[in-house]
């Protein structure tokens, strides 16, 4: 078979346990002994058998990553990138990630991820909306959990979010600095924490600049936040006879739908009206004009979650709470100085 700890021990002229101690950096080993062992390892190109270590040490060095299937296969690869960020970070800590999906209508009695049944993970990361029944199941196993872009209704957990409020605030500040005073908010799905956060950011920016919150400029009754809802929300907004010089849309999909409406109604972007979105999806640069938006660091969200998990596992520090991943304003061509502004 392949080279084992025994071979290393023999080559280095020490015992098995010494090699083990060197590998695991436990207790103190005489520098020269350590060197001999390390040389032997290098020469033999030795990699400890993960399986044997797991069996002997009672920790699996595996992490579960659970997503609902519809989230994962969405056209916008948000969660794919989150996973990528986590997987990349996991390499550093020598964890394997076992990725699996559960049906969005998961309930008691559904197929349970194998790595849970076999108790083959040290912890699990769940991204996006996951079924409560699954959360309960994992909790019963007493496995540490980290949520990404989600937090279950009951219980206290650690969750990683993007900075929705800060991002929205930055977006609206950008508009204000361009001289806009009549800034509409286009939103939807008011129950979603992200959407709530973004609306709060909108409010905060206005407030900080002593601009009034004009209810008639806020259009967020749609239950969805899609391209279509952006279009119809814009329609409803303008049918009210308002004349905003700028619009903050709660995400890029809605911004895109809104732009479609504006164009069809002969409003020039950004000459007549500026618009900024949120998310920085890939299509943004293909729009005409390219959309100013808030960039979300999806990979970083995954990486942060992974580091948090490792902390919980290794330092036993079970600090509970939210982690906010910073976002960033990306200025493209859909925003310009307000007409008539000469500040």
Tell me how far, at minimum, the Cβ of 199 lies from a copy of itself, in Å.
27
For residue 45, state whether it binds DNA (rule: CB under 7 A): no
Residues in the interface with a copy of itself (CB under 8 A) total 44
Minimal distance in Å, beta carbon 94 to DNA?
11
Supply angle C-alpha 75, 79, 80, rounded to 5: 75
Q: Are the beta carbons of 171 and 294 closer than 8 angstroms?
A: yes
- Name residue 296's beta-bridge partners: 327
The one segment of 26-34, 247-255, 282-290, 318-326 that binds a copy of itself by CB under 8 A? 282-290
The one of a copy of itself, DNA, none whose footprint includes residue 28, by CB under 5 to 8 A per kind, is DNA
- Is 18 one of the binding residues for DNA (CB under 7 A)? yes
Nearer residue to a copy of itself within complex by CB, 71 or 198: 71
C-alpha–C-alpha distance, residues 300 and 320, integer Å: 19
What angle do the packed helices 227-239 and 252-264 form, to 10 degrees?
A: 50
**Binder of residue 34, out of a copy of itself, DNA, none (CB less than 5 to 8 A by kind):** DNA
Q: Contact region for a copy of itself (CB under 8 A) — 82-90, 183-191, 267-275, 326-334?
A: 82-90
Q: Report which of 283, 271, 282, 280 is spatially closest to residue 334, judged by C-alpha positions.
A: 271
Calpha distance 163→177 (Å, rounded): 21
Cα–Cα distance for residue pair 206/204, rounded to 1 Å: 5
Q: How far is the CB of 38 from a copy of itself (least distance, A)?
A: 17
**How far are the Cα atoms of 13, 16, 43, 252 from residue 47, in angstroms, in the given order?**
18, 14, 11, 47
Site membership for a copy of itself, residue 283 (CB under 8 A)? yes
Establish if 10 lies at the interface with DNA (CB under 7 A): no
Which of 99, 214, 218, 267 touches a copy of itself (CB under 8 A)? 99
Q: What are phi and psi of 181, to 5 degrees?
A: -125, -25
Q: How many CB atoms lie within 10 A of CB 276?
A: 29
d(CA 159, CA 305): 8
Give, as ranges, the residues between 19 and 38 that touch DNA (CB under 7 A). 20-21, 23-24, 26-30, 32-34
Rule CB under 7 A: which residues touch DNA? 1-2, 4-6, 13-18, 20-21, 23-24, 26-30, 32-34, 46, 48-49, 52-53, 55-58
Rule CB under 8 A: which residues touch a copy of itself? 1-2, 47-52, 54-55, 58, 60, 69, 72-77, 80-81, 84, 87-88, 91, 94, 96-101, 111, 114-115, 117-120, 227, 281-283, 286
């Amino acid at each position: 078979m392949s080279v084992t700890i025994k071979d290393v021990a023999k080559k280095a002229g020490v015992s098995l346990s010494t090699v083990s101690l060197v590998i695991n950096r436990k207790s103190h080993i005489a520098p020269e002994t350590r060197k001999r062992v390390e040389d032997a390892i290098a020469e033999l190109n030795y990699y400890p058998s993960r399986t044997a270590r797991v069996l002997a040490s009672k920790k699996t060095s595996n992490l579960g990553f659970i997503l609902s299937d519809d989230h994962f296969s969405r056209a916008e690869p948000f969660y794919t990138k989150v996973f990528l960020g986590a997987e990349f970070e996991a390499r550093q800590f020598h964890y394997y990630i076992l990725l699996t999906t559960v049906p969005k209508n998961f309930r008691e009695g559904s197929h349970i991820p194998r790595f849970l049944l076999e108790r083959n993970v040290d912890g699990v990361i769940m991204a996006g909306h996951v079924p409560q029944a699954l959360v309960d199941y994992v909790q019963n196993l007493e496995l540490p959990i980290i949520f990404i872009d989600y937090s279950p209704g009951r219980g206290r957990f650690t969750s990683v979010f993007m900075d929705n409020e800060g991002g929205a605030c930055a977006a609206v500040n950008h508009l204000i600095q361009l001289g806009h005073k009549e800034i509409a908010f286009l939103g939807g799905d008011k129950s979603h924490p992200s959407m709530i956060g973004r609306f709060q950011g909108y409010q905060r920016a206005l407030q900080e600049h002593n601009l009034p919150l004009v209810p008639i400029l806020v259009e967020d009754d749609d239950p969805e936040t899609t391209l279509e809802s952006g279009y119809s929300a814009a329609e409803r907004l303008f049918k009210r006879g308002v004349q905003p010089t700028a619009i903050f849309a709660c995400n890029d999909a809605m911004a895109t739908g809104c732009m479609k409406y504006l164009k069809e109604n002969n409003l020039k972007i950004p000459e007549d009206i500026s618009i900024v979105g949120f998310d920085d999806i890939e299509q943004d640069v293909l729009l005409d004009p390219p959309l100013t938006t808030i960039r979300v660091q999806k990979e970083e969200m995954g990486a942060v979650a992974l580091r948090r998990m490792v902390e919980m596992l290794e330092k036993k520090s079970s600090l509970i709470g939210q982690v906010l991943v910073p976002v960033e304003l990306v200025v493209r061509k859909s925003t310009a100085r307000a007409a008539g502004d000469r500040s």
